[in-house]
Amino acid sequence: MVTWTPAAISNQAGRVALITGGNSGIGWQTARVLAGHGARVVLAGRDLSKLAAAARAIRAEVPAAEVDTLVLDLGNLTSIAAAAQRVVDGGPLDLLINNAGVMNIAERQTTADGFELTFGTNHLGHFAFTAQVMPSLRASSAARVVTVSAIAARWGSGELTDLMSEQKYRPMGAYAKSKRANIVFTVELARRLVGTPMIAVAVHPGAALTNLQQHSQGAASRLLMPLLERLAMGSPEGAAWPSLYAATNAVVESGAFIGPAGRRQDSGTPKPARLPRGADDRATGVALWRDSERLTGTPFIV
């Protein structure tokens, strides 16, 4: 197998890349590498001070880096609309990496708009934001939408029913549901983009200890962290490779699912991965699209 590393990334000068959750973890590593290859990167997240610190850290490593910040709360449709308008006002967007997420929320919580927090943030927030920045993506000559899913998308608990977990709430079940939705959304978006120069790709990062795990709630989660650190969890830097591969490799196909090639798919060179069973079912994709438009009140016009 040919080993791919970020060293293979071509010059990204002139390309604008926006990364949600770009102030830490996999998102920051993705932004750092893209900036190092000449792209102008936009770090999107909820906390302006954390975004500013993340931008400074990239500039310290890449003095010539062009780094901007964008306040974006994916759990708030008003914030999403305001952030998307700023993007559209700024001109073409070549690369959108839907990376931000929450995981393992101990008790069922809701977003500002009443959505279950995990599904509302990880899927509905990204759906609404992607829909509203489409004018900027269409203005690019060859835009890409890369959405970060997870191995959890393959779990049986990820079935796309009871989207708001109103009948039964399980922290990791809600996470699996949101991550499956990321893939189903990507595959359906790829179908709708046929005949355009834009592509949509889903990725999973393998296993890495990032703020996503460290911020998991509950005593059990906190007790697991030392064990996870000693086991197979990789670094955020390596976990960013699938996103970087999907964002920059010329041979990536629209609708693909990219993940690490390691035996447990936890680390290693990126390669196409097997879709979760049923994730490419057209009826499922259309139903999720329709429900997402209805819930968010956001028409998604490709």
Catalytic site residue from 4, 28, 175, 300: 175
| Alpha carbon distance 158, 250 (integer Å) | 31
**Quick one: three-class SS letters along the chain?**
CCCCCHHHCCCCCCCEEEEECCCCHHHHHHHHHHHHCCCEEEEEECCHHHHHHHHHHHHHHCCCCEEEEEECCCCCHHHHHHHHHHHHHCCCCCEEEECCCCCCCCCCCECCCCCEHHHHHHHHHHHHHHHHCHHHHHCCCCCEEEEECCHHHHCHHHCCCCCCCCCCCCHHHHHHHHHHHHHHHHHHHHHHCCCCCCEEEEECCCCECCHHHHCCCCHHHHHHHHHHHHCCCECHHHHCHHHHHHHHCCCCCCCCEEEECCCCCCCCCEEECCCCCCCCCHHHHHHHHHHHHHHHCCCCCC
Tell me, yes or no, if 169 is annotated catalytic. Answer: no
Q: Which residues are the active-site residues?
A: 175
